Structure 1
């Protein structure tokens, strides 16, 4: 199996929504509480500055994705933000790393200068280690910044990477 990272297309909506919704349903990474239907997903993914999917080049199945968009506007519009999702059955195969690396290159190509993560949940140790290994700088921690499904709160970590 080879993984190809390519730009999202509308025909990816059903598969991309399934993966996105898995992360939302897990309740330990994304801020969203409701999943996306195929039409909502297509509108959401196409509204981003860029959206990419990781595709299994043998089966054509989408196994991961990322969205890239401004983190702010105006004088801070050069800072972008991104979110990543990998299908549950494909985690642990470094697909997330490939998505992050592609995102860093695409963000720079688009003209962003900094990629900032506002809310990496502290228990997401795989993401924390990946970002640190890829040279992201830890800005700090927001105590209790993320509400888990059980109603408890967990810290979030902020990161940035200069492009």
Structure 2
């Protein structure tokens, strides 16, 4: 697997699984009926943000990640990131590889920490993965996410120093 900067040409491969993940309403906080244009504008980051894709030897996009400052100005030394893996390629270590890459890139880019603002507490695989990378749950905002199947569940704020 190769992880590289995403290009606009990657979008047609990203959009179908990004759309399905968001529409499912169980792991991501975007509007479930987000338009393709709005999703592209939000996911394909401009500097200082970055977007990456994980691709296999054939160039098939397996997953994607984005990184950007969590806040502006005096808070811009803390990074934020988002991750999506094509469900057809789940269980192959794509999210783990993307997370390792994003953490390394964040350090290289001068960030001092990373914060995830909204990890759905029922997304046990993601929570376990982020914990394995040293993230800790700072707090859980009760009933902050309207899960498509489980109703109102909490959102974790997770953090780690770089």
Give the TM-score normalised by the residue count of structure 2: 0.91
Per-residue CA deviations over 1:6-64 (Å, capped at 9, x if unaligned) read 10011101111122112101211111123442x5554430436110001011x211110
Corresponding residue of 1:5 = 3
Corresponding residue of 2:28 = 30
RMSD of equivalent CA atoms = 1.6
Work out whether 1:162 is the aligned partner of 2:161: yes
CA distance in 1, matches of 2:23, 2:106: 28
Corresponding residue of 2:56 = 56
Corresponding residue of 2:12 = 14
CA distance in 2, matches of 1:76, 1:105: 19
Shift of 1:151: 8.2
Unpaired runs of at least 5, structure 2 = none
CA distance in 2, matches of 1:10, 1:20: 15
Per-residue CA deviations over 1:110-163 (Å, capped at 9, x if unaligned) read 111111011111110001111111111220111101112358211111111111
Give the TM-score normalised by the residue count of structure 1: 0.90
Number of equivalences: 159
